[in-house]
Amino acid sequence: MAGIVPPTMGQKGQETTSSKVEEKVDYLNLPCPIPYEEIHREALMSLKPELFEGMRFDFTKGLNPKFALSHSVFMGPTEIPSQSSETIKIPTAHYEFGANYIDPKLMLVGRILTDGRLNARVKCDLTDNLTLKANAQLTNEPHMSHGMATFDYKGNDYRAQFQMGNGALFGASYIQSVTPHLSFGGEVFWAGQHRKSGVGYAARYNTDKMVATGQVASTGMVALSYVQKVSEKVSLASDLMYNYLSREVTSSVGYDYILRQCRLRGKIDSNGCTSAFLEERLNMGLNFILSAEIDHRRKDYKFGFGLTVGE
C-alpha cells in the first residue's frame, strides 16, 4: 500500500545494493489515507460478519450493468433489547424489495420492507474530490426516522468530512497521512437532541502484511485492533474494546480464510461468545450461507442458513 515508485536501476550490481538501502520517503507525495470511519475496516471485515438467525433468501436480478433489483425473504426470531438478563426473541418474517443503481458518479440504493420501513443510500461525486453521501431510515411511526448527510473532501494526503443528521447531529472528522504507512485522524461530534458532544482520535499503521489501529473517544471508548495477513488465503485478527467510563472490556480473536470456493470467518470472544460464518459458492451466482453464534454466558444459541442467488 506504499505509493512510492522505486528509482530506475541501471545495472544489476547496483540493483542488489540499492534494494537493501532504505527508500527515501517523499513526504510531499504521501498516499491518500483510508476514510476515518473505515479505519478499523480490515478488523471489522474479519471479526464482524453479518451473523443472522433463521432463514434468509436473497435474489438479485441485474437488468443492466448499472441497474439491479433485489428481492429478499427472511424468516426467523429477532431479538428485542430488554432490561433483564434474559434475551427476548420475537419471530418475524419479512420480504424486502430493493433497487440499486450504480454509476461511477452516482450510486442510489433503496430497500423497502413489508412493514413500510425504507432504507435509502445516495452517494454522489459532486466534483473529483468532493463527495456527497446521504442515508436515511424512514418509518411510518412518528419520530423514529433518521437521516444523515455527509460531505467528504479528499485531498492529496488527507481527507476531511462533515456530517449533519436529524435531531441536530453534527460531526466532523479529519485524517492525514504522516508517513507512507502511518496516518492520524481526529473527529468531533455534537448531538443537540441528547445534549452530548465528543472528541475522538485515531491512528492507523499498515504495511502489506499487517494493519494496526487504535482509537480513543471521549465517550469512553478505547478500541485497538491488529490484523495480520498470514498468506493470500488466511488472515488473523484480534481486537480489544475498553470503555473507561463503565470499566468494561471485551477482546476477541478471529480468523478469515478466503479460499477458492468459500469464505470462512470465525471468532471467539472474552464474553464467552463464539461465532462462525461460512459463504460457499456452489455455482456461478449461487451462494450458500451458514451462520452460527453461541453465547455460553447468556445461553443464547443462534443458527442461520440462507441462499443468495445472483451477483
Partner 1 sequence: MASRVVVKGKGKGGKERRLAEERPSSTAKCVKEWSTWTLKKAKVAVHYGFIPLIIIIGMNSDPKPQLYQLLSPV
Write the binding mask 107 to 126 for partner 1: x where contact by CB under 8 A, - elsewhere: -xxx-x---x-x-x------
Binder of partner 1 out of 135, 145, 197, 219 (CB under 8 A): 145
- Retrieve residue 16's grid coordinates: 542488489
Q: Which is nearer to partner 1, 1 or 126 (CB)?
A: 126
Phi (first) and psi of residue 12, to 5 degrees? -65, -35
- Nearest-approach distance from CB 104 to partner 1, in angstroms: 12
- Retrieve residue 267's grid coordinates: 471468532
Q: Which is nearer to partner 1, 59 or 301 (CB)?
A: 59
Q: Which is nearer to partner 1, 97 or 201 (CB)?
A: 97
* DSSP string across the chain: ---PPPPP--SHHHHHHHHHSPPPP-TTSPPPPPPGGGTTHHHHHHH------EEEEEEEEESSSSEEEEEEEEEEEEEE--SSSS-EEEEEEEEEEEEEEE-SSEEEEEEEETTS-EEEEEEEESSSSEEEEEEEEE-SSTT--EEEEEEEEE-SSEEEEEEEETTTEEEEEEEEESSSSEEEEEEEEEETTTTEEEEEEEEEEE-SSEEEEEEEETTSEEEEEEEEE-SSSEEEEEEEEEETTTTEEEEEEEEEEE-SSEEEEEEEETTSEEEEEEEEEEETTEEEEEEEEEETTTTEEEEEEEEEE--
- Nearest-approach distance from CB 50 to partner 1, in angstroms: 22
**Binding status of residue 192 toward partner 1 by CB under 8 A:** no
- Cα diameter, the chain: 74
Binder of partner 1 out of 136, 182, 217, 253 (CB under 8 A): 136
- C-alpha to C-alpha distance for 282 and 191, rounded to whole angstroms: 47
Interacting span for partner 1 (CB under 8 A) from 36-44, 88-96, 102-110, 296-304: 102-110
Report the site for partner 1 in 58-97 (rule: CB under 8 A): 59, 61, 63-64, 66-67, 69, 97
- Nearest-approach distance from CB 154 to partner 1, in angstroms: 25
- Nearest-approach distance from CB 146 to partner 1, in angstroms: 11
Q: Which is nearer to partner 1, 140 or 270 (CB)?
A: 140
Q: Which is nearer to partner 1, 34 or 68 (CB)?
A: 68
Q: Which is nearer to partner 1, 38 or 141 (CB)?
A: 141
Size of the site for partner 1 (CB under 8 A): 22
Closest C-alpha among 269, 256, 264 to residue 289: 264
Sign of CA dihedral 101, 71, 55, 296: positive
Interacting span for partner 1 (CB under 8 A) from 73-81, 98-106, 222-230, 242-250: 98-106
Interacting span for partner 1 (CB under 8 A) from 3-11, 19-27, 100-108, 226-234: 100-108
Q: Which is nearer to partner 1, 125 or 300 (CB)?
A: 125
- Nearest-approach distance from CB 124 to partner 1, in angstroms: 12
> Which positions touch partner 1 (CB under 8 A)?
59, 61, 63-64, 66-67, 69, 97, 99-101, 103, 108-110, 112, 116, 118, 120, 136, 138, 145
